[in-house]
Structure 1
Amino acid sequence: MVNAFSFACSACGKCCNSPPAMSLPELFRHRDLFVGCIAIGRVPRRRLHEKLRVGKHENILSGAEIAAFDTIADTLLHRAGDTFSITTQGYDYPSLARCPALEDDGRCAIHFEGKPVTCEVVPLDPLVPDALQHLVLAGRNQSAAYLGADCIQEGERTGAALMVAEGRIEDASAKDALARRRASLAAEREVWGKTVFESLRKDLFESPAALARVPAGGFLTISIAPALLAVAGVSARCRQLCLDYIDSQLALIERCIAQALLRRRLDDRPFTRELRGFASAYQRAKAILAVPVSAGDSSSQPSRVPYVEAYLSGADR
């Protein structure tokens, strides 16, 4: 069977039904548009000879494919018994069923002004090896989110880019976006992810009761404050960037809650509570960061300072 899929985006907005995963620099850039949070999810470990099947498409995992999954886990993910993803992303009321960047006509307001890399990766998945991306496309071709979009089609199609074929990413722009998203995830893991993971290890990752809060196939969302505190200690410049971000976020959360109160939807209430929790966490982080740093107490790794400052400022683009 030829495992080939073509893709042609019509900018219909069907897949833009929630805020996207975004790196910390991307959230800093769009601080007045997206409420930021940390999303924690389980990533299933794959086993040799495990059968993956999506509709008529089937693959029995080989040693090379298991090694590819392990490489992704070692560079992008976190392990504590199970394997977990820890990423930053935008947050909004699910009842809105749309990305905050969508305009009234369904077009993306930031398409040409810093669109998140993860949006460029769509419909591929950076946590899946290239050789198995056809299964990702097969699954999304059948998902309700893409129903009626006809953007993903099996085989080569006129007017559409051949996305994957025979275990290869054929589209050059998609291949580049996938590489950039993986590089971004690897950087996030190094800049703040490992620190946050270790801070949560005992109370979350090593607690079966706490891990029950991570939904199957979904994410546990928590405040982004731990990530901010992890990077703010690198330098005075990083600290100020984080303080500026917090002030913008507090104003944005206030606006989001005010709009939700006007909608008067019962299903919005849990998310209003969560946003208020985010605001409280921001205030606590702001109080911590307001304390002046003593001389010689700014960074235990001075060599990291230029890199992290450039990263948060978006100079790594």
Structure 2
Amino acid sequence: MVNAFSFACSACGKCCNSPPAMTLAELFRHRDRFIGCIAIGRIPRKRVGERVRVGQHERVLDEADIAAFDTLADTLLQRAGDTFSITAQGYDYPSLARCPALEDDGRCAIHSHGKPLTCEVVPLDPLVPDTLQHLVLAARNQSAVYFGAECIREGEREGAALMVAQGRVVDAHAKDALIRRRLALEKEREVWGQAVFEALRKELFDSPAALARIPAGGFLTISIVPALLTVASVSGRCRRLCADYIDSQLALIDRCIAQALVRRRLEDRPVTLELRGFANAYRHAKAALAESTVMASDGGHSPAPGAVEAYLSGAVL
């Protein structure tokens, strides 16, 4: 079967080697477990005729492929010359090499209690068209992260779900997870992503020197405060929800830094400095919220207050 891959998760925890991308609503729900941040990545634009090769799998991108990429970019990403992803993200010390929700036995502590949508999508990529997901699986099958897991197998395999075949996502659960993650990313863009992008445009996205801070194939992480101030401006209840979130985050950052000081790892020092910067940004934001100095949002471009309140409180996920 051409370009077909099967997948069977053994819960080995190999792919749970860092905090996941999350929605703001998911971060609010798990505020005592995940430190939140904003992750900014640069997405290379694809061109007609571009050759994408992973091992023996190769695709020369045609106009339909580019149109599919553009459709995803128009609804999920931001454009300012280049294309950028702006997502909420869990944050922790990379030296730990584990998700904060990963238990000592390799199981997910929140698997049945609000596991992030991005984890349900694994090992697919919501920013890649369905017709090219076989290349995503081929690449991950060869990556060091998945080495030895044998959860991704080429072709049909007994005891594993056929995930992609003939340019289609054929597994019903995987297809549903992709749809829901893309809808969540679209919602994030509506609730706070577009506003944060515009707020950072001059300082970051219109500055070649600033853009150089975004590592190739990686992300620039910044405080999540710009997202909080955006949603806090919607209503008094949103402001109170953000203030409560900040209190939980300050306590969590204190615990994480205290644990890092006990570990005494040299590579942890830059992360500790960044976390202290996050904490300082939180304190300034909390003061602004207490003084009600957050600017009111533009009602013509923001979601209805009730919808944002429900989103942050977990009524809408």
Shift of 1:138: 0.1
Shift of 1:310: 1.3
User: CA offsets per residue over residues 191-228 of structure 1, 9 Å max, x none?
Assistant: 10011001111111111111111000000000000000
Shift of 1:316: 1.8
Q: 1:297 to 1:4 in 2, by over 3 A?
A: closer
Cα distance in 1 for residues equivalent to 2:187 and 2:296: 24
Query: Aligned pair 1:144/2:116, yes or no?
Result: no
What are the equivalent positions in structure 2 for 1:80-91 lying under 5 Å apart? 80-91=80-91
Cα distance in 1 for residues equivalent to 2:153 and 2:42: 29
Query: 1:282 is aligned with what amino acid?
Result: Y
Equivalent in the alignment of 2:29: 29
Shift of 1:299: 6.3
Equivalent in the alignment of 1:269: 269
Cα distance in 2 for residues equivalent to 1:166 and 1:300: 45
- Secondary structure, in 3 states, of the residue corresponding to 1:145? coil
Query: 2:49 is aligned with what amino acid?
Result: H
Cα distance in 2 for residues equivalent to 1:218 and 1:128: 16
Query: Aligned pair 1:314/2:285, yes or no?
Result: no
Cα distance in 1 for residues equivalent to 2:91 and 2:245: 15
Equivalent in the alignment of 1:114: 114
Shift of 1:62: 1.2
Shift of 1:303: 6.2
Shift of 1:291: 1.3
Query: 2:197 is aligned with what amino acid?
Result: F
What are the equivalent positions in structure 2 for 1:1-317 lying under 5 Å apart? 2-292=2-292, 300-301=299-300, 304-317=304-317
Shift of 1:292: 3.5
Cα distance in 1 for residues equivalent to 2:129 and 2:252: 37
User: CA offsets per residue over residues 30-72 of structure 1, 9 Å max, x none?
Assistant: 0000000000000010001111110100001111110000000
Cα distance in 2 for residues equivalent to 1:303 and 1:73: 21
Cα distance in 2 for residues equivalent to 1:205 and 1:110: 35
Cα distance in 1 for residues equivalent to 2:293 and 2:220: 33
User: CA offsets per residue over residues 174-197 of structure 1, 9 Å max, x none?
Assistant: 100110000000000011001100
Cα distance in 1 for residues equivalent to 2:95 and 2:305: 41
Query: Does the aligned pair in 2 maintain the 1:162–1:170 contact within 8 Å?
Result: yes
Cα distance in 2 for residues equivalent to 1:102 and 1:131: 32
Cα distance in 2 for residues equivalent to 1:57 and 1:293: 55
Uncovered stretches (5+) of structure 2, i.e. residues with no partner: none
Q: 1:107 to 1:297 in 2, by over 3 A?
A: closer
TM-score (norm 1): 0.97
Query: Does the aligned pair in 2 maintain the 1:235–1:299 contact within 8 Å?
Result: no
Cα distance in 2 for residues equivalent to 1:50 and 1:242: 44
Query: Does the aligned pair in 1 maintain the 2:191–2:303 contact within 8 Å?
Result: no
Shift of 1:100: 0.3
Aligned-residue identity in percent = 76
- Secondary structure, in 3 states, of the residue corresponding to 2:101? coil
Shift of 1:94: 0.3
Q: 1:292 to 1:207 in 2, by over 3 A?
A: closer
Cα distance in 1 for residues equivalent to 2:296 and 2:183: 30
How many residue pairs get aligned? The number is 316
Cα distance in 2 for residues equivalent to 1:17 and 1:72: 27
- Secondary structure, in 3 states, of the residue corresponding to 1:237? helix
Query: Does the aligned pair in 2 maintain the 1:236–1:298 contact within 8 Å?
Result: no
Cα distance in 2 for residues equivalent to 1:35 and 1:137: 29
Query: 1:265 is aligned with what amino acid?
Result: R
- Secondary structure, in 3 states, of the residue corresponding to 2:145? helix
Query: Does the aligned pair in 1 maintain the 2:39–2:222 contact within 8 Å?
Result: yes
Shift of 1:298: 7.2
Query: Does the aligned pair in 1 maintain the 2:230–2:297 contact within 8 Å?
Result: no
Q: 1:138 to 1:314 in 2, by over 3 A?
A: same
Cα distance in 2 for residues equivalent to 1:127 and 1:300: 29
Query: 1:300 is aligned with what amino acid?
Result: G
Cα distance in 2 for residues equivalent to 1:287 and 1:316: 28
